[in-house]
């Protein structure tokens, strides 16, 4: 149960999403040189009805003092920002606006909401840049809002706006004890909660199973492989992507029985169902033997070191001398400076009791499991300029 779309783990074995969409995230400090979206830098006038692309508050660095900068940082971190995104996703507002502009009254009818309250809400969301407001209380999607329609990102927001958000209210507990606040808030571990809550499990599976494939997987060379084993692979989105590119490959998908039920549909839709064996079992109970490549994508960060070591030792026991393990996860760089993985690491602590790791921490963990790093491919920005933070670690015996 992490904080990222298009990624994730609706079960202990699932591909846990990164805490940032596509594994990446923009700097928390927007460009301080950006001009005000309003004439003369002021508030919108009656002639300027279109909503600004941002939230209209000054960026850190624009203040006249350090206290001004700190105020803006606190303001932008306030719960109303993310919770507004959560409600937007929960009500499906972006999907409703997908076919064209609607009035707030029409949206209120469609979502069974109070008309005045929903108008005020949409007005605020427009200030965040997802909608554009027109005269007559008419709203339309912006390009940012288009990216919020359905799929992994919206589901990621729902997950992080509900169960995870409550856990973060008790982050002090995690900092002081080193234990996940989720367990204290809900009285059970996150994965046990998902097993019991059908709605949360469905949302979580949608986020991790129907989200985008980690971009890092495209840097992996599968040309010498015969069988790719995707461990904790949810409904098979990543495996389907790999097999679709390599018709000669066969695959094995392993995840919990409650997770892999939808896998045949996903695999059939990709045209690869006939080449995949589905194994409904926890990787804590064993891993299929004989694979040429084993993949753990967005999985190890769900777990503390001892549980991660159990997983890796099971993989090692299944590997041959020629097999390799491919780990796709965020890798925290050494030293200071902003990096999304440092906040994803806190998310793992607060919700799952897991952690993001540095290269050296991965190296030590793999060595304890009898594996050595053979190659490390750092993340690279995609052609569109979106930052990527997930790296590929290849290991062997």
- Residues serving a catalytic function are 301
- Of 99, 211, 199, the closest CA to residue 153 belongs to 211
Q: How many other CB atoms are found less than 10 A from the CB of residue 175?
A: 12
Q: Which residues pair with 228 in a beta bridge?
A: 251, 293
What six digits make up the tokens of 143?
A: 């390009």
Q: Which residues pair with 76 in a beta bridge?
A: none
What six digits make up the tokens of 360?
A: 């050296």
36 in Cβ contact with 55 (< 8 Å): no
Count CA atoms closer than 13 A to 41's CA, side-chain side: 5
357-373 exposure pattern, b = at least 16 Cβ within 10 A, e = fewer: bebeebbebbeebebeb
DSSP-assigned letters across all residues of 335-385: SSS--HHHHHHHHIIIIIS---B-HHHHHHHHHHTT-EEEEEE-----TT-
9 in Cβ contact with 2 (< 8 Å): yes
Distance CA 148, CA 223 (A): 35
Q: Which residues pair with 394 in a beta bridge?
A: 326, 375
- Of 108, 126, 103, 119, the closest CA to residue 48 belongs to 126
């Amino acid at each position: 149960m992490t904080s990222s779309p298009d990624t994730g783990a609706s079960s202990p074995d699932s591909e846990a999403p990164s805490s940032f969409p596509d594994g990446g995230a923009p700097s928390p400090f927007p460009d301080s040189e950006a001009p005000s979206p309003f004439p003369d830098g002021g508030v919108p006038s009656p002639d300027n009805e279109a909503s600004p692309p941002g939230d209209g508050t000054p960026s850190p660095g624009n203040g006249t003092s350090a206290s001004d900068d700190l105020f803006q940082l606190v303001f932008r971190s306030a719960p109303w920002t993310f919770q507004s995104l959560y409600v937007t996703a929960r009500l499906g507002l972006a999907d409703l606006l997908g076919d064209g502009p609607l009035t707030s009254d029409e949206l209120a009818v469609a979502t069974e909401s109070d008309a005045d309250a929903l108008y005020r809400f949409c007005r605020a969301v427009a200030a965040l840049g997802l909608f554009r407001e027109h005269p007559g209380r008419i709203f339309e999607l912006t390009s940012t809002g288009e990216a919020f329609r359905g799929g992994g990102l919206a589901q990621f927001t729902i997950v992080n706006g509900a169960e995870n958000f409550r856990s973060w209210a008790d982050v002090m507990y995690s900092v002081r004890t080193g234990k996940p606040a989720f367990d204290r808030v809900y009285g059970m571990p996150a994965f046990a909660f998902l097993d019991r809550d059908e709605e949360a499990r469905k949302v979580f599976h949608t986020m991790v199973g129907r989200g985008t494939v980690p971009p890092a997987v495209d840097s992996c060379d599968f040309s010498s492989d015969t069988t790719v084993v995707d461990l904790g692979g949810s409904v098979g989105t990543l495996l389907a992507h790999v097999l679709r590119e390599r018709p000669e490959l066969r695959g094995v998908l392993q995840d919990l029985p409650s997770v892999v039920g939808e896998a045949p549909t996903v695999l059939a839709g990709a045209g690869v169902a006939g080449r995949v064996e589905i194994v409904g079992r926890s990787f804590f109970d064993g891993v299929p033997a004989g694979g040429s490549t084993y993949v753990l994508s967005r999985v190890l960060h769900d777990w503390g070191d001892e549980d991660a070591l159990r997983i890796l030792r099971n993989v090692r026991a299944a590997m041959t001398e020629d097999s390799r393990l491919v780990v796709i996860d965020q890798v925290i760089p050494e030293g200071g400076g902003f990096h999304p993985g440092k906040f994803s690491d806190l998310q793992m602590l607060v919700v799952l009791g897991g952690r993001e790791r540095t290269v050296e921490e991965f190296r030590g963990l793999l060595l304890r499991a009898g594996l050595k790093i053979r190659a490390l491919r750092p993340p690279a920005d995609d052609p569109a300029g979106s930052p990527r933070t997930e790296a590929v670690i290849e290991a062997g015996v």
